[in-house]
Structure 1
Amino acid sequence: MTKIVIVGGVAGGASAAARARRLSEDAQIIMFERGEHVSFANCGLPYHIGGDIQDRSKLLLQTPQSFLARFNVDVRVMSEVVAIDRAAKSVTVRNQLDGTQYQESYDVLLLSPGAAPITPPIPGLDNPLTHSLRNIPDMDRIIQSLQSRQVKHATVVGGGFIGLEMMEAFHQLGIQTTLLELGEQVMAPVDREMAGFAHHTIREQGVDLRLNTALSSVEYVAEQGQLLLSLSSNQQLQAEQLQTDLLIMAIGVRPETALAEQAGLQLGETGGIWVNSQMQTSDPAIYAVGDAVEERDFVTDTPSLVPLAGPANRQGRMAADNMLGRNQHYQGTQGTAICKIFDLAIASTGRNEKQLRAAGTHYQKVYVHTASHASYYPGAETVSFKLLFEPETGKILGAQAAGKDGVDKRIDIIAVAQRAGMTVEQLQHLELTYAPPFGSAKDVINQAAFVAHNLMVGDSHAIHLDEIDSLSDDQLLLDVRNPGELDSQGFIDGAINIPVDQLRERMDELPKDKEIIIYCQVGLRGNVAYRQLVNRGYKARNLLGGYRTYRFATA
């Protein structure tokens, strides 16, 4: 009989325990959880605070009693594993309630300790009005703060998933909210111009969004029940003061590796627990899964840290298989993710441009902005889509999308296509569902693939938004939109305007000794104009994504 000891529940540990029992009725399975909840929906915590999920019990997926009844797993909550004796194959467990300790032996051990919120060395953070959000008790403390006192203003530090979700939760509760982000954008998995759609939506909702802004110190003013925050940025000559009633620190997480380190297990390059493709650590009798482990990136096969529930669940399942003698291999993480920001969704999969540039990967990119379903059917919303690929092979490197409808569908399609090894050329041939309420005859994915394939075969020549502000005297900027659009949408300084439908008759107004840089609203009319010009002997390039991408890049 195999004795399996699991350290940590939630996504990875709980999945492993359930899978192990389904495979073996004879295995002895013990799961230790240092908190009071063994399996809860940590991704749902901000939505309970904001009121979208009314019933707190909905977040509790399994209890020790339900785990025992359904899976015959011995779940011991409020029990922290504080040491591993690899030679003796035992762990030391501390009872959190009375402080007593005991040893528990194992045949195989699974570590699923997760990741802890990063707490930066900022003076004054240790006060009763500052919180982080990782588990149910953290959520309860935030709700207690909201219920026990009048919170008129809340500040969230960090523009990642938790920070954005907490910002929206406070706004939904009618609390004036400030969001501080040290970098130039929120949502690090997407590139700056795609994050611009989030910035626009956040500010449109009345949230005080401050980019490139650091929290330098916190002062707790007990008599007023407030915090005085000192903020600094590159634009400020001196620190600014901000009064707030509640502070949420959400600047990110780091893998919890202390237990593994103390046991002498190998850590990876990125600081997570090193594991092989079977989720084994450097000790073959010890496995590790979830946010604490270093994974292999699916696209680049380089080490990465991806604290997401989906990978943790799959890793837990595979580790259970392998602990019981099977031979399953984890095939890398794409980092597929999505975030709701008010009525906007932003999603991504694979590598982003920042990562590709840092790795020295040769890539090309295209943008399309098109309707989520047939534009003539009511309710169509614009999907802004970015596709990254290798121009020589058509290999899909990553994708990002923003919009109010249909974003998840498109990123999920690319995630599947990428894992299947499809190329840009093959994306042209995807046959996706079409009826006016649901899609278009040429889906967003098809259109992006058409644009990418045009670049690959030389049917178009592109220019990107980061080149527009540094044109030379040998280039001329041409806006092919209708004059009314310039008034309502804005324009790029220095451009001459010839609407695309007048271009054939007015082409002689353009000099042939200069390269014509064309742009329209989203890039489609620009491509029509491009083909007209090059077919008449002009040198030209089209701004991919058009003025819409250019405008939101600085939002």
Structure 2
Amino acid sequence: MSDHQRILIVGGVAGGASCAARCRRLSETAEIIMFDRGPHVSFANCGLPYYVGDVIKDEEHLLVATPEMFRQRFNIDVRLRSEVVRIDRERQLVEVNDLEQGAIYTEHYDALVLSPGARAIRPDMPGIQLPGIFSVRTIPDSRRIRQWIDQYEAREAVVVGGGYIGMEMVENLHKRGLAVTVVEKQPQVMPLLDPEMAAPIHESLIGQKVGLRLNEGVERFDPGEGHRLALTLASGGRLETDLVIMCIGVRPNIDLARAADLAIGESGGIQVDPHMRSSDPCIWAVGDAVEVRDVVTGATAVVPLAGPANRQGRIAADVIMGRQHGFRGVQGTSVVGVLGQVAAFTGASEKTLKRLGMWEQMEKIYLHPGHHAGYYPGAVPISLKLIFTKKGGRIVGAQAVGQAGVEKRIDVIAMAIQMHATVFDLEESELCYAPQFGSAKDPINMAGMIAANVLRGDASLAHWEDLEQSDALILDVRDVEEYNQDHLDDALHVPLDELRARMDALPRDREIRTYCFVGQRSYYAARALSQHGFTVKNISGGFKTYLMHESAKYL
């Protein structure tokens, strides 16, 4: 394209704003105009829950860039309160509604970039428009929530939806002293996680007196006394509260694209090629409104994450300016903090792989190492689940939960997935070590070693959910004190340090499955037994993983 082209960008925030700035860095002569129907062009929407929680105290700190900065630093014309209402593809024009003046005007484009984002889902149910029911998508949304809490001296809140935003709202409302109840249709919060990996989050919520109404939905809202609201649940139960935060997800904002007859993907997002170009060669689309490819499973989906949106905006700018650049896809790397717990995720989950019919090709391991060296004060465990292919050990996904060091490990695994690395690469990873930061054998190394042992045949694994289909002897190799505190009912107890002396009492005509608390001592036991001719498998993750599975099962 010509260096003197006219580039129009619809929507700011992550995708649109990054595209505009990148276009300017690549061309001093292009004319760049960015439209946004809201009062802000670039703000940190991921920070909104923390503004509600008064962690971020000044609203201005949420503003990443202002129209004045775009004009002065980048010579970009930003028009707020300006809604693009129609695209004339044949004439390459857009119609713009000036919401302040109430006037419609047109602008010509050589390249048009759509970054309209997504809308919070507000289901059509009785009472949904009542005062005191909020979503969290914009700065004005969070401002209204703060004002409502202050005005009515709110003491109770209901959060509908237990995903990322829901959990962040729970944490921040809790910090402000409100009693919070979560209503979630799924049997767990954080539905992206596998059920057992969400169990520590449930325990933390319950431990801090957050109400959990799982497998539950809202049927209707009714006015309560004064400003309060009454919720009727699908089970017939009722809740009364001072305010409700709706966090049941978002839908891509594709009205403009659909009206312009641009291709829409099966997942509901604007269809784009790897260069972020839509079905019209002069129109690009980026951010929460586009359909993207999952690099692990190959499935297409709408993934509303700020990181991919920023990269997509940059790629669209490169292509508009004549550079060859493509978007690799997403793997859903994400993290959330919930009342002292941190949960992080990358790649594919077990339940996703099962839904797609891909699980037979996979194996998984669990481990629970300390986040730094155990001899240094303050070490806390990380519960880590790693999924990899049985053939070759390519890393497919990982989930981790703990109080510290969680996101650091998932970040490493996320890059490993991006580079098509295997568990053998994790085994050999060279990572920072000082006792206050990690261990000589980092949890990443340990995950690689455990998985590599499985693939090399040095360890045979079993999993807790498979026990009912097996008549194997369950062997608990923990110390007496641990065994007496809690154990599997039918387990035979032989402490590891006594195992060699008592091997003759174990059956050689029956499979043995070993467990300890986190899986290390039972691995030692399994190695010793296998070398003495026993048929043995180690139960991955030990008794701690069993407790996570049981917690998930009975919530």
Relative to the length of structure 2, the TM-score reads: 0.96
Q: Which residue of 2 aligns with 1:26?
A: 29
Is 1:260 the counterpart of 2:263? The answer is no
User: How far apart are 1:491 and its partner, in Å?
Assistant: 2.1
Give, in angstroms, the shift of residue 182 of structure 1.
0.8
Distance 1:105 1:355, change over 3 A: same
Instruction: Write out aligned runs for 1:5-20 (5 A).
Output: 5-20=8-23
2:270 to 263, 268, 273: 273
SS at match of 1:167: helix
Q: Which residue of 2 aligns with 1:533?
A: 529
State how 1:143-162 maps to structure 2 within 5 Å. Answer: 143-162=146-165
Residue 73 of structure 2 is matched in structure 1 by: 70
Residue in structure 1 matching 2:321, options 319, 324, 328? 324
Give the CA deviation at 1:2. 0.6
* Higher mean C-alpha deviation, range 411-420 or range 29-38: 411-420
* Cα displacement string for residues 222-253 of structure 1 (whole angstroms, at most 9, x for unaligned residues): x43211111235xxxxx111111100110111
Aligned residue pairs total: 546
Q: Which residue of the other structure, out of 510, 516, 540, is the alignment partner of 2:512?
A: 516
**1: CA distance, partners of 2:251 / 2:493:** 51
| Stretches of 4+ aligned residues off by more than 6 angstroms | none
Instruction: Return the alpha-carbon distance in structure 1 between the equivalents of residues 488 and 210 of structure 2.
Output: 28
Q: Deviations over 1:491-510 (max 9, x none)?
A: 22221211111111122332
1:55-454 → structure 2 map (5 Å cutoff): 55-221=58-224, 223-233=225-235, 239-361=236-358, 362-454=361-453
Distance (whole Å) between structure 2 residues aligned to residue 278 and residue 554 of structure 1 = 46
Q: Distance in 2 between matches of 1:179 and 1:549?
A: 25
Give the aligned residue type for 2:140.
P
Following superposition, the deviation at residue 487 of structure 1 comes to 4.1
Structure 2: distance between partners of 1:479 and 1:96: 70
* Counterpart residue type for residue 287 of structure 1: W
Return the letter of the residue paired with 1:520.
Answer: C
Q: Which runs of 5+ in 1 are unaligned?
A: 234-238
Q: How far did residue 439 of structure 1 move?
A: 1.1
More deviation, 283-292/295-304: 295-304
SS in 1 for 2:261: coil
Who is 1:38 aligned against?
A: 41
- Equivalent runs, 1:459-470 vs 2, <5 Å: 459-468=458-467, 470=468
Within 2, Cα distance between the matches of 1:501 and 1:465? Answer: 24
Partner-residue secondary structure (3-state), 1:440: coil
TM-superposed CA distance for 1:393, in Å, is 1.4
Residue 507 (str. 1) matches residue 503 (str. 2): yes
Deviation of the 1:202 alpha carbon? 1.1
Amino acid in structure 2 at the alignment position of 1:180: V
What is the CA distance between 1:31 and its match in structure 2?
0.4
Paired residues of 1:373 and 1:439 also in contact (CA < 8 A)? yes
Cα deviations across residues 7-35 of structure 1 (Å, max 9, x unaligned)? 00000000001111111110100000000
The residue type paired with residue 117 of structure 2 is G
- Displacement of 1:117 in angstroms is 0.9
| Structure 1 residue 471, shift from structure 2 partner | 4.5
**Which range moved further: 440-449 or 420-429?**
420-429
Deviation at 1:300, TM superposition (A): 2.4
Q: Secondary structure at the match of 1:36?
A: coil
Give the TM-score normalised by the residue count of structure 1: 0.96
Q: Cα deviations across residues 165-200 of structure 1 (Å, max 9, x unaligned)?
A: 000111101110001111011112221111111111
- For 1:370, what is the secondary structure of its paired residue? coil
In the aligned structure 2, how far is the partner of 1:402 from the partner of 1:459?
27
Q: Distance in 2 between matches of 1:23 and 1:420?
A: 28
Look up the equivalent residue of 2:248 and give its one-letter code: I
Partner of 2:297, secondary structure, is: coil
C-alpha contact (below 8 Å) 1:301/1:332 kept by paired residues: no
Higher mean alpha-carbon deviation, 510-519 vs 344-353, is at 510-519
Aligned residue type for 1:8:
G
Whole-angstrom distance in 2 between the partners of 1:517 and 1:417? 31
Secondary structure of residue in 2 paired with 1:553: helix
- Bigger mean CA offset, 416-425 vs 258-267: 416-425
How far 1:358 sits from its partner (Å)? 1.5
Which region of structure 1 is more displaced relative to structure 2, 25-34 or 428-437? Answer: 428-437
Name the stretch that deviates more: 294-303 or 348-357. 294-303
Using the TM superposition, give the Cα deviation of residue 99 of structure 1 relative to its aligned residue in structure 2, in angstroms: 2.4
Question: 2: CA distance between counterparts of 1:409 and 1:420?
Answer: 17
Aligned with 1:554: secondary structure?
helix
Shift of 1:539: 1.7
The match for 1:236 is none
RMSD: 1.2
Q: Which moved more, 1:166-175 or 1:298-307?
A: 298-307
Counterpart CA distance in 2 for 1:400 and 1:117 is: 26
- Matching residue's letter, 2:489: D
- 1:472-517 deviations in Å (ceiling 9; x for gaps): 4x322221111211344x3222212111111111223322222112
Q: Distance in 2 between matches of 1:429 and 1:372?
A: 19
Listed one character per residue, the Cα deviations across residues 129-184 of structure 1 (whole Å, up to 9, x for unaligned) are: 10010001111111111111021110001111110000011110111000111101
SS at match of 1:349: strand
